Amino acid sequence: MKKTSFFVTFGALFGVIFLLCQIVHATLYEVGPGKMFDHIGQVPWSSLGPGDRVLIYYRDKPYREKWVIDRAGTAENPIVIQGVPGPGGRLPVIDGDGAITSTNLNFWSEERGIINIGGSNIGNQLPAHIVIEKLDIRNGRPPYKFKDDHGATKSYSKNAAAIYIIEGNNITIRNCIIHNCGNGLFACHASGSIVIEYCHIYDNGIEGSYYEHNTYTEARGIIYQFNHFGPLRSGCGGNNLKDRSAGTIIRYNWIEGGNRQLDLVDAGHADLINMTSYRKTYVYGNILVERGNEGNSQIVHYGGDSGDRSRYRKGVLYFYNNTVISKRTSNTTIFRLSSHDETCIATNNIFYVTASDHHLALSNRDGILKLKNNWIKNGWVKSHEGGGFSGSVIDLGGNLSGNDPGFKDLSAMDLGLILSSPCKDAGTNQIQGVDGDHRVLFQYQKHQKCVKRPKDTQIDIGAFENAKEETNRNPIIIFFKADPSVVANPKIDIHFSSKASDPDGDKLNYYINFGDGTGFAGFDQFHKYLKKGKYKASLTVTDNKGGMASAFVFVTVEDKAPAIPQNIILEKKD
């Protein structure tokens, strides 16, 4: 007889116990008409854990509430705060005007944001792995007021933001509309690994002020991608995207308007300045548009603005495969490099101005600008500073000049290239200093979308590749089932499971509508129906590019009397 070792048995048992301890018991909180909670403040924000989801459903009137997120998820199980769109895809509105803060919360800098991340006086957990998506967040600035966590009426500060990130790591803001605030988004230096994607950010700023911007960030690693940046509010002098981060990546965005489209300047904290990634900034695949004679005539500022040159970036701006358009009738300057310690390597870009003659300058006064395989409007000059120019513009070859880059339709801002464009196949596939992690893989699609950049033997100049267009294909649902699909009584667990694939390899989002007024954002969930009936449960699978697939199953909930046990004899009544 073969004996089983006690140590082997105990080891296996220990392994099972360990795995069971790793199971995340996530909770779904639903806010909206007919849901678990009527108000966002009822969500137990101070006790959220990994995998928890807060679904905020669209309703006709805004949610006039504000709150803090001070909990941590994990990479595999983030904490997700997600809006559920209404008719026509309208997002739930979070309105800072007259917003009320739950008295169960306690956090500082309430006047700085509508949704704060970090800064709580409850607990000591650093926010991490947080996702905020599909919300329309607005009206966080003077003269709007709110009620704080003590019930007192307060005014927002001028630099208030729709989302104010005080501290935290691995934070994603996705598919949100951010507008009519002081700063649309603000991130402090104690934050890091931030991703801002598929958002529409516009109409922020303070009239007569240059200090509030559509976004203002200083983080340890930040990526902006697939966003639509519109102009600031009328009379507001701020920049469109202002950043002081280390490890900044700005790719595949449409950025239109602002004092400058990009203001990439110095950090104010040594921990960022000492990071190697502080010296490298990547800007590629973007469309930068100067609408007219508004704001500063410079498009991109790189280096610093504090006046303390020891803090300046003193590194390299890698600027490639962007399309830059200026409709100014006066002078336009593409780059301002703050000192001789700043270098820009500009490759495969289109620099186009509608003005004629010598209204286009490539550099302001200082720094080193290296040019390779760009298309530049005829009549360009190194600088408009005349004798004050002390920098250098170095031609590395392959640069073209002309009057027409060959856009499909400039009047309609269709900036793709026609077949006869001089920019077609005129780029270089070898970009100095750029490794595989920063290759041009996508291109922007109006608006807040992207498509894979078509593959071509020789890359085109600019943000768009002229090749056979790749259309986004819908996801494919492999299965969607309810087990069991017939139950004898209400309040019996039914296991809903599903699986889908995407022909383009895109990340998929799942949503199960159980047909009883409740739902779940995910692909696998147990659910109990509370009443007898026949229910049509549906699954919707989407990618982030407009692709969608759906399927449904029918579930029957009966209401049968309990069976009589066999050991019970019913007596007949005389």
Q: Which H or E run contains 13?
A: helix 6-22
User: How much is the average pLDDT of 58-72?
Assistant: 97
The whole-number average pLDDT for the span 276-302 is 96
Cα torsion 182, 186, 189, 191 to 10°: value is: 160
Strand (E) or helix (H) holding 19: helix 6-22
Task: Find, among 337, 334, 335, 386, the residue nearest to 360 by Cα.
Answer: 334
545 or 312, which is more confident? 312
Q: What is the dihedral of CA 515, 521, 524, 530, to 10 degrees?
A: -30
The answer to whether the beta carbons of residues 113 and 86 sit under 8 Å apart is no
pLDDT attached to residue 294: 85
Phi, psi of 411 (to 5 degrees): -65, -30
455-511 pLDDT, tens digit per residue, is 889 999 999 999 765 578 999 999 999 999 999 999 999 999 999 999 988 999 999
Local confidence band at 356 (pLDDT 50, 70, 90 cut-offs): confident
The pLDDT confidence band at residue 544, using thresholds 50, 70 and 90, is confident
Q: Do residues 175 and 544 lie in contact, with contact meaning Cβ atoms separated by under 8 Å?
A: yes
Q: Is the pLDDT of residue 514 over 90?
A: yes
Q: Which residues contact 118 (CB under 8 A, 6 or more apart)?
A: 68, 69, 70, 126, 127, 165, 166, 167, 168, 190, 191
Show Cβ contacts of residue 30 under 8 Å, excluding neighbours closer than 6 positions. Answer: 36, 37, 55, 57, 518, 519
pLDDT in tens, 359-388: 999 999 999 999 999 999 999 999 999 999
pLDDT at 23: 55
Query: What would the two tokens of residue 282 be?
Result: 């990547």
Helix (H) or strand (E) holding 486: strand 486-487
Rg (CA), the chain: 28
Name the one residue in this structure whose structure tokens are 């077949």: 419
Q: Are 399 and 425 in contact (CB under 8 A)?
A: no
Residues 313-332: tens digit of each pLDDT:
999 999 999 999 999 999 99
Q: Could you read off the pLDDT of 90-134 as tens digits, one per residue?
A: 999 999 999 999 999 999 999 999 999 999 998 789 999 999 999
Q: Indicate if the pLDDT at residue 565 is higher than 90.
A: no
The residues, ordered by sequence, that sit 6+ positions from 190 with a Cβ below 8 Å of its Cβ are 118, 166, 167, 168
Segment (H or E) for 16: helix 6-22
Residues facing 154 on adjacent strands: 146
pLDDT at 1: 41
Residue holding tokens 């949610």?
Answer: 63
402 beta partners: 377
- How confident is the model over 126-184, as pLDDT tens digits? 999 999 999 999 999 999 999 999 999 999 999 999 999 999 999 999 999 999 999 99
CB 288 within 8 A of CB 252: no
- CA pair distance 434, 438, nearest whole angstrom: 6
Higher pLDDT, 295 or 229: 229
Q: Percent of the chain scored above 70 by pLDDT?
A: 93
**How far is residue 322's CA from residue 287's CA, in Å, rounded to a whole number?**
6
**What's the Cα-to-Cα distance from 144 to each of 65, 113, 140, 141, 187, rounded to whole Å?**
13, 12, 7, 6, 21
pLDDT value, residue 562: 67
pLDDT band at 25 (very low <50, low <70, confident <90, very high): confident
> Residues 375, 379, 383, 387: is their CA dihedral positive or negative?
positive
Give the torsion through C-alpha atoms of 413, 419, 422, 428, to 10 deg. 100
Residues 267/245, Cβ–Cβ less than 8 Å: yes
Q: Which domains are assigned to the chain?
A: 26-181 (no CATH), 246-470 (no CATH), 476-557 (2.60.40.10)
pLDDT in tens, 434-453: 988 999 999 999 999 999 99
CA distance 482 to 462: 50
The percent of residues above 90 in pLDDT, for the chain, comes to 87
Question: Which pLDDT score is estimated for 557?
Answer: 94
Q: What pLDDT, on a 0 to 100 scale, did the predictor assign at position 132?
A: 98
